């Protein structure tokens, strides 16, 4: 537009000058080397205007050609990008359907034209793993890692794949590295929790619990449950490494609140029994049941290898005198009476337990007590009742 206005101005000026100097066209001489060009001023002006017009036209034509070339290039580029997106979408759908081969084929076919090749390579990696081709899976992860801003997505994919393949050590190493740069990332924290539990890594799990709670990945109930599980797991590790003495030392280092948890008390007692510290286990049971009735602890008493069973019998008899309706206590006391050859007392205890709830083991113990009293017929009837429970 500016050029057209300029031409009109030049033409207008020429017309004005031409009318002013009509009949006085002037004379122009141009000499170049051995050549000379002669013309009137009017001719020169017309020539200059014509040259400018041709120059502007050529500029316009050149721009049109360039625009047409760029438009054509952009058209084909956009067309390829759209096709790549379409194939990627189809590939993701095939991945969800479990058609691994087709998923890999579709997402890799036009990956180089996609506006986010990272997505294509990650999907291809998942598809390759689904086919069991770990080498190709790693190859696609390497390609994905070459893309911009790919570290988090690639490492998370790598960790998830390692967990599915039960390569928990690789997953843990990858996630712990990510946790340094992304300490509050919820997916990283949740996957770390899984790897710690799968590998019985109780100490780091306990350290992770506050972050899991803060990120609202677990509630108070689940936090308490995991904490108890982790402490019990640590006790297992210590018992295996340091024996009963190390176990007792660790137990005493726990908070009072922890040592009052029935689940942990059971875990502690069972570990003491497994380490042949039965007397210590009985002491813990006796002290713990003074404050709260824990049937699971009463049930452990018959498994204790005690030189003198009398204190254990007295303890159970005292519990029964305070609360008669406790099948676990009746059964445990009956088992101790059996070992003391007190057949009639044992019979009463097992009968009392069975009136509260049917139990195959108690039927078997009752039959044994009856047999030892030469009550064969009654023992047979009890055995048949036990068989009905089993069947």
Cα 327 to Cα 350: distance, rounded to the nearest angstrom: 9
3-class DSSP assignment, residue 35: strand
pLDDT average, residue stretch 60-80? 58
Q: List Cβ neighbours of 93 (8 Å cut-off, separation of 6 or more).
A: none
* pLDDT for position 75: 44
User: Closest by alpha carbon to 276, among 251, 310, 249, 239?
Assistant: 239
User: Closest by alpha carbon to 88, among 107, 116, 102?
Assistant: 107
Lowest mean pLDDT among 29-33, 125-129, 148-152: 29-33
pLDDT average, residue stretch 362-384? 90
For the chain, the domains span 308-391
Contact 189, 217 (CB under 8 A): yes
Per DSSP, the residues of 335-390 read HHHHHTT-HHHHHHHHHHHHHHS--HHHHHHHHHHHHTTT-HHHHHHHHHHHHHHH
* pLDDT for position 32: 74
3-class DSSP assignment, residue 37: strand
Res. 255: pLDDT tops 60: yes
* pLDDT for position 291: 81
DSSP 115: S
* pLDDT for position 13: 64
Res. 197: pLDDT tops 90: yes
Q: List Cβ neighbours of 297 (8 Å cut-off, separation of 6 or more).
A: 262, 265, 266, 269, 285, 288, 289
Res. 74: pLDDT tops 50: no
Res. 176: pLDDT tops 70: yes
* pLDDT for position 389: 77
Superfamily of domain 308-391: Tetratricopeptide repeat domain (1.25.40.10)
pLDDT average, residue stretch 53-76? 61
* pLDDT for position 89: 86
- The partner residues of 310 in beta bridges, in order of sequence, read none
Res. 65: pLDDT tops 70: no
* pLDDT for position 11: 60
Cα 44 to Cα 54: distance, rounded to the nearest angstrom: 15
* pLDDT for position 232: 94
* pLDDT for position 345: 94
Lowest mean pLDDT among 142-146, 185-189, 385-389: 385-389
Cα 257 to Cα 261: distance, rounded to the nearest angstrom: 7
DSSP 215: T
3-class DSSP assignment, residue 10: helix
pLDDT average, residue stretch 229-243? 93
Kindly report the three-state secondary structure assignment for every residue of 132-187. Answer: CCHHHHHHHHHHHHCCCCCHHHHHHHHHHHHHHCCCHHHHHHHHHHHHHHCCCCHH
Q: Confidence band (pLDDT; 50, 70, 90) for 109?
A: confident
User: Closest by alpha carbon to 149, among 189, 122, 174?
Assistant: 122
Contact 329, 316 (CB under 8 A): yes
Q: Which residues of 334-343 are buried (b: 16+ CB within 10 A; e: fewer)?
A: bbbbbeeebb
Res. 68: pLDDT tops 70: no
Res. 73: pLDDT tops 50: no
Contact 81, 116 (CB under 8 A): no
What mean pLDDT, rounded, does the chain reach? Answer: 86
Q: What is the dihedral of CA 250, 251, 256, 260, to 10 degrees?
A: 150
What are 278-302's pLDDT values in tens digits?
999 999 999 998 888 888 999 999 9
- Whole-prediction pTM value? 0.69
By the 10 Å C-beta count (0-12 exposed, 13-18 middle, 19+ buried), 316 is classed as buried
What are 6-52's pLDDT values in tens digits?
656 766 666 565 555 555 556 666 767 677 777 666 676 677 777 76
Six-digit token pair at 135? 């080498």
Lowest mean pLDDT among 9-13, 303-307, 362-366, 378-382: 9-13
* pLDDT for position 71: 47
Q: List Cβ neighbours of 286 (8 Å cut-off, separation of 6 or more).
A: 311, 315
Six-digit token pair at 126? 């998942």
Pairwise pLDDT comparison (47 vs 154), residue with the higher score: 154
Res. 243: pLDDT tops 80: yes
Q: What angle do CA 209, 284, 301 make, to 5 degrees?
A: 110
Q: Confidence band (pLDDT; 50, 70, 90) for 186?
A: very high
Q: Which residues of 294-310 are buried (b: 16+ CB within 10 A; e: fewer)?
A: beebbbbbbebeeeebe
User: Closest by alpha carbon to 316, among 282, 342, 366, 265?
Assistant: 282
Q: What angle do CA 85, 90, 93 make, to 5 degrees?
A: 130
Res. 108: pLDDT tops 50: yes
pLDDT average, residue stretch 83-92? 84
User: Closest by alpha carbon to 42, among 20, 60, 64?
Assistant: 20
* pLDDT for position 385: 82
* pLDDT for position 384: 86
Pairwise pLDDT comparison (31 vs 274), residue with the higher score: 274
């Amino acid at each position: 537009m500016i050029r057209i206005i300029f031409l009109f101005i030049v033409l207008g000026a020429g017309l004005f000058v031409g009318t002013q100097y009509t009949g006085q066209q002037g004379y122009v001489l141009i000499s170049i080397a051995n050549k000379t060009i002669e013309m009137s001023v009017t001719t020169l002006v017309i020539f200059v205007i014509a040259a400018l017009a041709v120059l502007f036209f050529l500029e316009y034509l050149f721009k049109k050609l360039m625009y047409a070339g760029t438009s054509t290039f952009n058209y084909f580029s956009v067309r390829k990008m759209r096709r790549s997106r379409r194939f990627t979408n189809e590939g993701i759908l095939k991945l969800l359907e479990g058609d691994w081969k087709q998923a890999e084929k579709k997402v890799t076919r036009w990956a180089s034209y996609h506006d986010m090749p990272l997505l294509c390579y990650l999907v291809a990696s998942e598809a390759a793993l689904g086919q069991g081709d770990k080498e190709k899976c790693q190859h696609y992860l390497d390609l994905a890692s070459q893309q911009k801003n790919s570290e988090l997505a690639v490492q998370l994919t790598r960790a998830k794949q390692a967990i599915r393949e039960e390569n928990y050590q690789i997953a843990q190493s990858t996630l712990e590295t990510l946790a340094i740069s992304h300490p509050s990332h919820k997916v990283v924290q949740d996957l770390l929790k899984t790897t710690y539990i799968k590998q019985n890594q109780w100490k780091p799990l306990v350290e992770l619990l506050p972050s899991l709670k803060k990120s609202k990945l677990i509630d108070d109930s689940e936090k308490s449950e995991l904490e108890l599980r982790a402490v019990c797991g640590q006790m297992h590790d210590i018992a295996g490494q340091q024996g009963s003495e190390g176990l007792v030392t660790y137990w005493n280092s726990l908070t009072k609140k922890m040592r009052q948890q029935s689940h942990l008390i059971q875990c502690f007692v069972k570990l003491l029994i497994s380490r042949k510290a039965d007397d210590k286990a009985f002491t813990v049971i006796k002290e713990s049941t003074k404050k709260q009735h824990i049937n699971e602890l009463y049930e452990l008493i018959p498994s204790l290898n005690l030189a003198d069973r009398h204190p254990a019998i007295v303890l159970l008899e005292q519990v029964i005198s305070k609360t008669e309706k406790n099948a676990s206590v009746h059964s445990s006391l009956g088992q101790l009476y059996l070992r003391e050859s007190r057949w009639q007392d044992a019979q009463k205890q097992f009968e009392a337990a069975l009136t509260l709830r049917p139990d195959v083991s108690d039927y078997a113990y009752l039959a044994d007590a009856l047999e030892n009293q030469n009550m064969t017929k009654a023992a047979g009837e009890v055995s048949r009742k036990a068989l009905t429970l089993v069947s």
